[in-house]
Structure 1
Amino acid sequence: MPPQPPSAPTPPSLPAPLFDTAVIAGVGLIGGSVALGLRSRLLARRIVGVDASLDALREAQALGVVDEIRAAPGEWLREADLVVLAAPMRVLAPLAADLAPYLNPQALVTDVGSVKATIAAELHRLGVRNFVPGHPMAGSERGGVAHARAALLENAVWVLTPTEHTPLTALSRARALVEHLGAAPVVMPPGAHDDLVATVSHLPYLASLALTHLVARDERLSLLAAGGFRDLTRVASGDPRMSRDMVVENREALRLALRRFRTQLDRLEAELDDPEELLAAAQEGKRTRDSLPVVKRSLLPRRHDLVVTISDRPNQIGAVTQALGAAGVNIKDIEVLAIREDGGAMRLGLETPEDVQEAAGILRGAGFDVVGRA
């Protein structure tokens, strides 16, 4: 009997998804990022998007964020074993009320809103048993599904806020979902969450508004507002309506945070007459700021910067990139920082400190002024 050819190896089987049908109610930045996380990690067999905006739905489907789209809730929702409420705060409760009559009683339901006590109470009133309020501490000043990405949620703190009515099995499933999306679940009561985000999220937004309003009322200030000011006021670039709704929804906790903030400002004002006390305050601020954890996204590794001064002549940017490309230095990121009549600057993001040193030597040899920052 002639020897038989070896049989082809059996391909490895894919892991079973956590969910058969996942519904993302609200296909914006966060909802779209959750959908992409489910897709990239094979956590759901089918992803359905539902949104009041037909344009948003079509864009989400065209981008491959969702498999199917629906403009309104209906009996089709009974097939879902995961429902994520990802609408803006002002419509989150009405959306939940529209979906509730059609939900599978066994489905895990969660949300991504930035205020938890009110939505937790509303879902209990609606009789949605397996609801686990949630808030991924992630976002961007750029909204919309076009800016959604799975990496936005990776390594982010994701707060889960069960109530006394939350089944332990639902909380366990929600924790598994968050962990499988690459985020870090933290569990606390809804009220505690709202008090904390009033200080670390909603108060900074109001502070950014106050600072930008100062600049808006004196054009001389805008001439001097450099990178530090832009970094400090970045959150003011978010969607105004969504930001307004966020802080209004949490206004009672935010009022307390504002009072504490005013106390701190009064103390610092008094310390202007006591340099040693002000130095101690500055040292405490530095220690606190330096100790804050840096969230590392798996698709956004740390970059090491090189700032290059360029003259106002044609093809200066091309000369920089060509010089480094010819030497095999890989530029990971590039940003034009400023262009004026006498020239400007550009920032190059490189992969390692060694790349910064090599690129700096090459560009200095080509006549450019550079400043490295590893």
Structure 2
Amino acid sequence: MSSPVLSPETFETVVVAGVGLIGGSVALGLRERMLSRHIIGLDASAGALEEALALGVIDEARTAPGEWLRSADLVVLAVPVKVLTSLARSLAPYLAPGALITDVGSVKTGIAAEFEALGVRAFVPGHPMTGSERGGVANASAGLLENAVWVLTPTERTPLTALSRMRRLVEQLGAAPVVMPPDAHDKLVATVSHLPYLASLALTHMVARDERLSLLAAGGFRDLTRVASGDPRMSRDMVVENKVALREALHSFSRQLAHLADTLDDPEELLLAASEGKRTRDNLPVVKRSLLPPKYDLVVAVPDKPNQIGAITRILGEASINIKDIEVLAIREHGGAIRLGLEEAGDVDRAAALLRQEGYATRNRG
């Protein structure tokens, strides 16, 4: 059984502004680990909010900022980077002084400067390095954040207490926090994220202009161009917002391609380049998500009383529900939460019903 290193912080009210793939995943992560008691979704799309409510991702829906925001003690900005700064300006007048504010945008310099200009001090810019070609809240999952690198980019004015709270939250969501300045993040992401997107576009355009190429484009080509399947508008906005750093990365990439072109006349030099490429690629870290599929997991709120885990396992054992794994997710003053990994998908609903009859609060893993 594992337990968290740091005691988690419970947020009474969380606002997730933008209930798409990442915003929805953050909301589900907060739910799963019982780090929030009430989650409000803020989105201009009534359809997205209705879907999020129906899926149990949020508890309440709002389509516009207002005085209601003052109740929030955590605000997560999860809208496309193009509208991040305008959203920041619309929210700033309503934010409570003690609220922790963060975002999940893939470009950090602009939003960090905007919040500083607005005088919002407890803002910690962030970027979870995760995602999927399938967007929307319907594809959100708490597991999307697990073991992902989550970059935090504080500025000189970011309070250390806010950064500490954000680091703790990231860890409790199952991700790995990495801290660096906003401009350093943007330069690095230009190479490892935005440049591959443009390279994918270039390759797919070459195939689109010659039907014979499309007949031969097999698995390797599909893997290499996977990121071209992302939302075109969001991807466009992402690279445009980081165009200064991206142009530098493109120049470096062009030099690398030119060097490789020169090695075509020198097989030994090309072999050295290929060997270096293989070593680098093979040594890249593999992000492993949950060992158990989300649908087999059940999260249970545990009151601060003796032998609670024993009581829970007894209840399920008497019903012949096999528990494959138990993980302590949260430890708080008045109780905590555990995750039960169950053997069968159908066991989740049965276990939840049995435990609720005994007075335990439960949530299916999102």
The TM tier, using the shorter chain, reads 0.7 to 0.9
The number of residues matched between the two structures is 287
Aligned residue type for 2:270? L
Deviations 1:139-185 (A, max 9, x none): 01111000000000000000000000100000000001100000000
The correspondence for 1:255, drawn from 247, 250, 253, is 247
Q: Does 1:178 align with 2:170?
A: yes
CA 1:16/1:292 → structure 2, altered by over 3 Å: closer, same or farther?
closer
Aligned residue type for 2:242? N
The correspondence for 2:273, drawn from 281, 303, 306, is 281
1:236 aligns to what? Answer: 228
CA 1:296/1:171 → structure 2, altered by over 3 Å: closer, same or farther?
same
1:220 aligns to what? Answer: 212
- Give the distance between the partners of 1:169 and 1:205, measured in 2 at CA: 36
1:35 aligns to what? Answer: 27
Q: Could you tell me whether the CA contact under 8 Å between 1:17 and 1:42 is conserved in 2? A: no
2:139 aligns to what? Answer: 147
Aligned residue type for 2:136? G
Aligned residue type for 2:138? A
SS in 1 for 2:279: helix
1:315 aligns to what? Answer: none
Shift, 1:17, TM fit: 5.3
1:100 aligns to what? Answer: 92
Q: Could you tell me whether the CA contact under 8 Å between 2:108 and 2:185 is conserved in 1? A: yes
Q: Which has the higher contact order (CA 8 A, sep 6+)?
A: 2
Aligned residue type for 1:51? D
Shift, 1:299, TM fit: 4.7
SS in 1 for 2:212: helix
Q: Does 1:269 align with 2:261?
A: yes
The correspondence for 1:88, drawn from 80, 88, 95, is 80
Q: Could you tell me whether the CA contact under 8 Å between 1:116 and 1:193 is conserved in 2? A: yes
Q: Could you tell me whether the CA contact under 8 Å between 1:93 and 1:122 is conserved in 2? A: yes
Q: Does 1:45 align with 2:34?
A: no
SS in 2 for 1:273: coil
Aligned residue type for 2:243? R
Q: Could you tell me whether the CA contact under 8 Å between 1:151 and 1:299 is conserved in 2? A: no
1:123 aligns to what? Answer: 115
Identity of aligned residues (%): 78
Aligned residue type for 2:273? A
CA 1:199/1:255 → structure 2, altered by over 3 Å: closer, same or farther?
same
Q: Could you tell me whether the CA contact under 8 Å between 2:9 and 2:169 is conserved in 1? A: no
Q: Could you tell me whether the CA contact under 8 Å between 2:12 and 2:37 is conserved in 1? A: yes
Shift, 1:16, TM fit: 7.8
Give TM-score, length-normalised by structure 1: 0.76
Larger radius of gyration: 1
CA 1:273/1:87 → structure 2, altered by over 3 Å: closer, same or farther?
same
SS in 1 for 2:151: strand
Shift, 1:91, TM fit: 0.8
Q: Does 1:165 align with 2:157?
A: yes
Shift, 1:49, TM fit: 0.3
Q: Could you tell me whether the CA contact under 8 Å between 2:108 and 2:126 is conserved in 1? A: yes
SS in 1 for 2:178: strand
SS in 1 for 2:127: strand
Q: Could you tell me whether the CA contact under 8 Å between 2:8 and 2:168 is conserved in 1? A: no
Q: Does 1:197 align with 2:172?
A: no
In structure 1, runs of 5+ residues without a counterpart are: 1-14, 302-374
The correspondence for 2:288, drawn from 296, 308, 322, is 296
